[in-house]
């Protein structure tokens, strides 16, 4: 028998989902040494809720929510620990100048000049070797590249490169461990990955197919379909940022689908 009155919405799953997301956020933000205390508090809370004099459905929903909160916290902490492993987090806090070897993991995308800053390119790199503060360390850490040289635009995912730059802290709730600002062109150490070599003819064909369209649609179609923003005009990019629609191209059309 359903324990919830038919004239009331059943919010128990909403509570569990909200607790899971809250746990992930807490796990990403809090320092790892506090995790043990948090887990202990949640366990005690679950025991207290299980014994207090409330209805069985409410008690069960509260215990499940606490369990989801704990599971989300552990997942968030594991993700944050992977990002903060190695010296990059500390070097970023010090804004250290570093040399590095890395693998390009996303297509470099152009960004227009703004607020006195010249045009630049962004991409995600997986740092595999980093040298800074007198030590060289092998890592596997994602960072967000901010590159001044247009030579970065020719790179494709899977290519291995080396360069020098300066680290800076990134948002702790993001998917990268640090920001990496680079002025010089990259030194290419290896070819693009096999998947990039296989898909680039298809991407080039799509760009050619929209070549006769007006500037806006010509840049927007490849961006929506495969996340290729190379033809996206600066004015349209700015409009999408102003209206909060950049996620449509960031996920290669999944939201449109």
| pLDDT tens by residue, the chain, 257 residues | 455 555 666 666 777 788 787 777 777 676 666 666 777 777 777 667 666 756 667 777 777 777 888 788 777 776 666 667 778 888 998 999 999 999 998 888 888 777 777 888 889 999 999 998 888 999 888 999 999 999 998 888 889 999 999 999 987 656 788 999 999 999 999 777 676 667 777 778 888 888 888 888 888 888 887 777 777 777 787 787 777 776 666 655 555 55
Q: Is 60 exposed, middle or buried (0-12, 13-18, 19+ CB in 10 A)?
A: middle
Nearest-10 Cα torsion for 78, 140, 145, 153: -130
For every residue of 36-76, DSSP letters joined together read: HHHHHHHHHHHHHHHHSSS-HHHHHHHHHHHHHHHHHHHHH
**Measured between alpha carbons, how far is 28 from 163 in angstroms, rounded to an integer?**
30
Q: Which tokens go with 127?
A: 């740092």
Quote the pLDDT of residue 152.
Answer: 93
The residue length of the chain stands at 257
And the tokens for 14? 């909403």
Residues facing 146 on adjacent strands: 122, 181
Give Cα 121 to chain centroid, integer Å: 17
């Amino acid at each position: 028998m359903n324990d919830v009155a038919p004239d009331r919405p059943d919010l128990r799953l909403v509570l569990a989902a909200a607790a899971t997301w809250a746990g992930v956020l807490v796990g990403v933000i809090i320092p790892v040494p506090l995790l043990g205390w948090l887990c202990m508090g949640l366990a005690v809370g679950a025991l207290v809720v299980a014994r207090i004099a409330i209805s069985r459905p409410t008690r069960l929903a509260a215990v499940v929510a606490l369990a989801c909160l704990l599971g989300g916290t552990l997942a968030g902490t594991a993700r944050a620990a992977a990002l903060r492993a190695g010296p990059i987090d500390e070097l970023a806090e010090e804004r250290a100048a570093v040399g590095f070897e890395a693998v390009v993991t996303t297509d470099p995308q152009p960004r227009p000049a703004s607020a006195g800053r010249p045009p630049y390119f962004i991409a995600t790199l997986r740092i595999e070797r980093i040298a800074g503060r007198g030590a060289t360390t092998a890592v596997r850490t994602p960072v967000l590249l901010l590159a001044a040289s247009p030579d970065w635009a020719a790179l494709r995912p899977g290519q291995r490169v080396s360069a020098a730059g300066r680290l800076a802290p990134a948002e702790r709730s993001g998917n990268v461990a640090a920001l990496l600002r680079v002025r010089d062109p990259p030194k290419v150490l290896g070819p693009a990955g096999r998947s990039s070599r296989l898909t680039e003819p298809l991407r080039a064909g799509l760009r050619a197919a929209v070549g006769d369209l007006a500037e806006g649609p010509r840049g927007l179609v490849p961006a929506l379909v495969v996340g290729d923003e190379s033809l996206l005009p600066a004015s349209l990019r700015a409009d999408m940022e102003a209206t909060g629609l950049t996620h449509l191209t960031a996920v290669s059309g999944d939201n449109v689908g």
